[in-house]
Amino acid sequence: MIDAVIDRVRGVYGRWRRDTPVSQMREDWDDLFDSTPTQGTSATQGTFENVSAGGVDAVWVSTAHADPHRVLLYLHGGGYKLGSTRSHRDLMTRISSAARCRVLGLDYRLAPEHRFPAPVHDAVAAYEWLLAAGIDVNRIAVAGDSAGGGLAAALMLSLRDRGVQMPAAVVMLSAWTDLTAQGDSFESRAARDPIHQRGMILSTARTYLTEQGDPKDPLASPLFGDLHGLPPILLQVGDRETVLDDSTRFAHKARAAGVAVQLEIYDDMIHVFQQFADVLPEGRQAIESIGRFLNEAWQKRTAVP
């Protein structure tokens, strides 16, 4: 199964050249993952409603048994250049079902049109919009994959430093937490990762930051931040990923700062394998684990003392 998934991804990457417009890359990326309509009911029985979340385009995703009072703010991946709520509709729908919550997927601004820290500002605006709408902070969680996983962590650092109430939990899938690409896994997993190599990662980081940007800024690379005071975190990552150490090092540093961390490493899995839950049993297993983690976090935060 995993080989078929790799072929699907390589089929998209293989069409891109240096002169391929970013608009075409975004359309190809959305087409790779998207199998659901923009409005109405999806094949996985999700419903979708477009909204403006603090001035940022977003979509509410909900499934039949979702508790309307529980909300997961979802930040998609794509290297801060690609990806959207369209590419991630199936994944968000599956998480809504597993965690029995509504999901607010965010179409934060992308590079190169909007560079760092625009996505961080958009994530903060959407989170504060949820609070202003009267959503109980104890029933809010944040999740993201790849760049969106790093953005989820950056959001936590920004909220903490600004004195804003923190959510109940954070979920980070194949998170990109180090834009300097210093992890040993860029060497140890180079031959096994069919998608991401150090050169590509560094090029993507330069597009997001510009040549003058600091890749060690904690709001760009949360691994270099002070991680104390963060809510419980679930990290999931595939063992074949060159960005494996972006999760393992982040987990180690967060634990050292006193954060409750759950790290799950899935054998033979590639980057954000949860997006291929239609064919990968491991993807479905990981999403079930996300559901358990979030429900336990919400129950703990809302338990009557």
- Active centre residues (catalytic): 146, 241, 271
Torsion of CA 91, 93, 98, 102, to 10 degrees: 120
- HEC profile for 215-264? CCCCCCCHHHCCCCCCCCEEEEEECCCCCHHHHHHHHHHHHHCCCCEEEE
Place of tokens 């009267």: 134
Beta bridge partner(s), residue 264: 236
| Alpha-carbon span 139 to 296, nearest angstrom | 11
Structure tokens at 279: 């064919």
Of 279, 192, 200, nearest to 238 by C-alpha is: 192
Structure tokens at 53: 């979340």
Residue 206, burial from CB neighbour count under 10 angstroms (0-12, 13-18, 19+): middle
Torsion angles phi and psi, residue 55, rounded to 5 = 90, 0
Of 119, 213, 227, 125, nearest to 170 by C-alpha is: 227
Torsion angles phi and psi, residue 261, rounded to 5 = -130, 135
| Alpha-carbon span 15 to 25, nearest angstrom | 9
CB distance 215 to 208 below 8 Å: no
